[in-house]
Amino acid sequence: MKRVEVNDAGAMCSLGCYYSQGLNGLQQDRAKAMELWTQAAALGSSNAHYQLGALFDQGGDMKKAKFHFEAAAMAGNEMARYNLGCMELHSGDKERAVKHWMISASAGSYSAMHLLLVGSKTLNVSRESIISILTAYNNSCLEMRSEARDKYISELNGGMGVRLGVFGRNAS
């Protein structure tokens, strides 16, 4: 709470998530979550923009959802970029959707990479583009890898080992 009081955008965004889900002993309060995310977004939090985009998307206000997803994507949020691709495909612009997913996959989004691999023929993505994106995706995943992260993931998987989202390489 102290960090929120000094306008820490990250703390505001996290607290908004707690209120949204009713976590850490807080009563679920979506209005409070939206208020905190709006404040955090005004302070430049890409995650807050993403959360607002998801909230408006669920509520059916696609214009506001797109605004917030675009703001988050411009700040490097790969899931917001992925969602923009989904919105573009839904509106009929397959080419623009693929561009969003390529950027998202290159930044390490497993969802975008998987979608591009599975749908490469129907999305008209060339083999050369897939290879290029796959290389960028794998490099992004490897850059995020650390012993501490591997240990945490292994524990989450019940000791089954590390399974990163790396395609085309040994992932354990």
Q: Does 157 fall in a domain?
A: no
CA separation for the pair 67, 82 (Å, rounded): 14
pLDDT (tens digit, 9 = 90+) per residue, 119-157? 877 888 888 888 888 888 888 888 877 888 777 777 776
Q: Does 7 fall in a domain?
A: yes
Q: Does 24 fall in a domain?
A: yes
pLDDT (tens digit, 9 = 90+) per residue, 51-88? 999 999 999 999 999 999 999 999 989 999 999 999 99
For 38, the domain range is: 1-62
Q: Does 42 fall in a domain?
A: yes
- pTM for this prediction: 0.77
CA separation for the pair 41, 33 (Å, rounded): 12
CA separation for the pair 94, 87 (Å, rounded): 10
CA separation for the pair 67, 98 (Å, rounded): 19
* Number of structural domains found in the chain: 1
Q: Does 12 fall in a domain?
A: yes
Q: Does 46 fall in a domain?
A: yes
Q: Does 37 fall in a domain?
A: yes
Q: Does 48 fall in a domain?
A: yes
